[in-house]
A and B are shown apart, each in its own frame.
Chain A
Amino acid sequence: MSKLATWARLKSPWVLHFNSGACNGCDIEVVALLTPRYDVERFGIKLEPSPRHADVLLVTGSVTQQCAERLKRIYDQMPEPKFVVAIGACACSGGVFKGNYNVLNGVDQVIPVNAYIPGCPPKPEAIIDGVVKLLNSLKPEKPAKGEKKK
């Protein structure tokens, strides 16, 4: 039965996108994933409006003070099993804004991250590659829930 569950989770990862203080570069590349050239609906990825419906949280941006609490709340609202992907240099470590007074340096200061996708912004191909790597890491051979993959 759990093989069936894993298969279903791999084939149907629903995604919630949250911008925690980004310049929009990564966000437009994430939205571009839904468009005909990249079309991630092939993988069963759907962009969901509510945190309660999503399995994967895509976070962009270097997490400003004002957003930190919201990010934590959204993460808490998502039902298990859930995964977090940090997209872009800012989400990984603060990027070009590292050290600014209103910025926490990276998403992993607030919530646990499962995959880091560097780039400024990463090309949509890189984002797809990162998400696919995350999904493959869930297969039974390598139990990697919660393990960081760079």
Chain B
Amino acid sequence: MLDFWLFFRVLVFPGFTFILFLTLFCDWVERKIEARMQSRVGPAIAGPAGILQPLADFIKLLTKEEIIPRDAKKNVFRIAPLVAFSVMVFAICFLPIDGSSAISSSGFVGDLIVVMALVTVANFLLFMSGWASANPYGDIGAARVLTQFLGYDIPLFLLALTPAFLAGSLTISIIAANQYLPFIILAPWGFVLFIVALQAELEKDPFDIPHADSEVVGGLETEYCGGKLAFLHLTRDVQIVLGAALVVELFLGGPYGPVFFGLPAFWYSLWFVLKLLVVVMITEYVTCLFARMRIDQVLTANWRVLLPLSVLSLVLTVAMATYVYPMVV
């Protein structure tokens, strides 16, 4: 039996279409913040205040000629960007946006782990697209992507366990709903470290190496053009939305907030978007303020600094939750 309501939720709201437009909107927000911090104006003529700029970029790329290098591994080259994008969008569908997620109304046990695994798969597909492009810069860029996300996945996951522990569940919707006091207050160290690990996962300054223009030209995107390039860019942008959404769900209380009148779903979506924008702004400010680290410095920072700190953070949270908070909260 056809469930029109499910199709609507998955394809339009809060599913694919909503995520696509939210991604384009966040891209605009990021570019404006970066421009303002650099004392510039940023996109200004495509639509009012340049808000249609990311859409124009996307459409323009779709209308360009498709070129496939002779030595590239053609099937992987064609498909990897699209699949990476789909996997990322699929991962977002697990997150409650208007009170319940696109796919199910209450989630299932362990969907936090599923989301993290999907992110890893998507990053691996990005690596494959760089590897398949038969270009030395693509190879170097892809290798750097792999090194970086494999390394930072581990502390990211450990830090994601902190709110899981505080809420007593691995289900995202339960973690989001159980935040009478947002976990950013109960475990601020977790929040800060998670943002740092997220910068690395999202490959933004200071962990920007896979996209270092001056060293690897276009990185894994060097040989791509046209529609496939559009999807590679979108994958990166959707990843930013996914990362920010995870922070919102895990630390900022998810979409839940005061409901003033009318449909709760409307208010929940509004709070979700507002909190998302706050996180996007934080990550963008950090990007503007730092230079790029060298690859060996990135690896040192991960294995020698971030990993031990995330373990410590988990231990500290467990200790606080077992002994301190029951007395206070």
Contacts and interface: CB of A to CB of B under 8 A. Distances in A.
Interface stretch (B2-10, B107-115, B214-222, B295-303): B214-222
Interface stretch (A1-9, A100-108, A116-124): A1-9
A140 interface: no
Interface residues of A, number: 24
A147 B242 CA distance: 45
A39 interface: yes
| Most chain A Cβ neighbours within 10 Å, of B38, B40, B218, B223 | B40
Interface stretch (B64-72, B163-171, B185-193): B64-72
B225 interface: yes
Interface in B12-44: 31, 35, 38-44
Interface in A62-102: 77, 79-81
Nearest to B57: A12
Contact of B225 (A9, A12, A44, A52): A52
A150 interface: no
Contacts of A41: 31, 35, 40-43
Nearest to A1: B63
B57 A44 contact: yes
A39 B220 CA distance: 28
Interface stretch (B45-53, B80-88, B95-103, B199-207): B45-53
Interface of A: 4-5, 7-9, 11-12, 35-36, 39, 41-44, 48-50, 52-53, 55, 77, 79-81
21 contacts: A4-B59, A5-B59, A8-B58, A35-B40, A39-B35, A39-B42, A41-B35, A42-B44, A44-B46, A44-B53, A48-B218, A49-B213, A49-B217, A49-B222, A50-B137, A50-B222, A52-B223, A52-B229, A53-B229, A77-B67, A79-B66
Given A43-B44, A50-B218, 4 more contacts: A4-B59, A36-B38, A50-B217, A77-B67
